[in-house]
Amino acid sequence: MIGEEVSLGLDLVCICFGLNRKRIQTLFDSDLMRETKTHWGLFEGRDLLSTITVTPLQFGWGEAAGISGVATHPDRQKQGLASCLLKETAAQESAAGRVGSILLANEARVYEKAGYSVTDRVIDGTIMTSEPVDQAADVSDEETEQLYAEWAEADPGRMRRDETRWRAWRWLGRRYERLSQGVACCEPGLVREAVLNETLDRWPLPAGTRWVGLKSIADQMGVPLQSTRDDLLLMSKDIPGPVQLFLTDQF
């Protein structure tokens, strides 16, 4: 979709999810990744019935399609329209050279009908913490990119970041902070990204800080969680193996 059609897509997303149209337009206009995205729609005449947004995601084995913004008009739901659009979008993205597609979902049913399967879970849990300690100077941009690249390149299924994605990451005010022998991207009361070289029984963070991210990453890093709940499902189609990404890169 292009031009006015994209605007119709934003209208539909707001109708489906009860979002503020002006706020969504502001977010859309300020999105530094906007030029990399493709918008797909299923029309009946001039009426947009269902829409999907695709963001390219780079992994060690190639580029995948990140699916988001799946919305179908409330009057036309439960008619298989989203499943139809998902299948056609996957076919078009494959023809363009992308290796499969991934998405985050609240429930699996709609996406399973389109050939997707659950490969991981997003969990939300309270981190076991200790008293924060005074840390060294902030991590430089150069070291931040190096530490992330080392993490990503250790497994072909981990997402890579190009300069456009790094600009978007920084524009949102994100930065790494020292965390013992590793680093974490700390947001108020929340950690969604960390690169650690050791397993810690407790993380030196304020009490009540939560981890929100893939269970596979939490398990590998040994994030010390008091309790967790499932938040989202990571689902994929035609992907050569398990994938990992931080929720700071949510697409």
Q: What is the pLDDT of residues 205-246, one digit of tens each?
A: 999 999 999 999 999 999 999 989 999 999 999 999 999 999
Sheet architecture: strand order including 101-105: 38-44, 47-59, 62-72, 101-105, 225-237, 117-127, 210-214, 190-195, 182-187, 176-179
Is 57 in the same domain as 102?
Answer: yes
| Residue matched to tokens 């009426």 | 47
* Angle, vertex CA 225, rays to CA 224 and CA 226, nearest 5: 125
All residues at 6 or more sequence positions from 114 whose CB lies less than 8 Å from its CB, including other chains? 82, 83, 86, 87, 90, 237
Domain end: 81, 96, 115, which one?
115
Domain residues for the domain of 176 are: 123-245
Average pLDDT over residues 145-171: 96
**pLDDT, position 180:** 81
Mean pLDDT, all residues of the chain: 93
Kindly give the pairing relationship between strand 176-179 and strand 182-187: antiparallel
Closest alpha carbon to 185 in 173, 197, 202: 173
pTM higher than the cut 0.75: yes
- Written as six digits, the tokens of 138 are 């902030």
Is 134 in the same domain as 225?
Answer: yes
pLDDT at 198 over 90: no
Average pLDDT over residues 170-178: 90
% pLDDT > 90, the chain: 83
- The CATH number for 89's domain is 3.40.630.30
For 93-108, the DSSP string reads HHHTT---EEEEES-S
Burial group, residue 17, by CB count within 10 angstroms (0-12, 13-18, 19+): exposed
**pLDDT, position 138:** 76
- 4 pLDDT band (50/70/90 cuts)? confident
Closest alpha carbon to 48 in 13, 83, 84, 91: 13
Domain end: 62, 80, 115, which one?
115
Helix (H, G, I), strand (E, B) or coil at 204: coil
- Written as six digits, the tokens of 229 are 């709940």
**Neighbouring-strand partners of residue 66:** 55, 102
Domain-embedded: residue 237: yes
Closest alpha carbon to 61 in 90, 102, 23, 26: 102
% pLDDT > 70, the chain: 98
Q: What does each C-alpha distance from 153 to 70, 120, 214, 244 come to in angstroms?
A: 30, 20, 18, 12
Is 8 in the same domain as 111?
Answer: yes
C-alpha 44: how far from chain center: 30
Average pLDDT over residues 113-141: 87
- 169 pLDDT band (50/70/90 cuts)? very high
Residue 138: CB atoms within 10 Å: 12
CB 105 within 8 A of CB 111: yes
* CA–CA dist 195, 221 (Å, integer): 8
Average pLDDT over residues 15-40: 93
* CA–CA dist 27, 61 (Å, integer): 31
Domain end: 68, 90, 115, which one?
115
**pLDDT, position 237:** 95
Is 226 in the same domain as 177?
Answer: yes
* CA–CA dist 51, 11 (Å, integer): 10
> What is the tens place of the pLDDT at every residue in 64-101?
999 999 999 999 999 999 999 999 999 999 998 999 99
Is 149 in the same domain as 59?
Answer: no
Domain-embedded: residue 202: yes
- Written as six digits, the tokens of 203 are 């993380």
pLDDT at 137 over 80: no
pLDDT at 108 over 90: yes
pLDDT at 115 over 70: yes
pLDDT at 250 over 60: yes
**pLDDT, position 134:** 65
Q: How many domains does the chain have?
A: 2
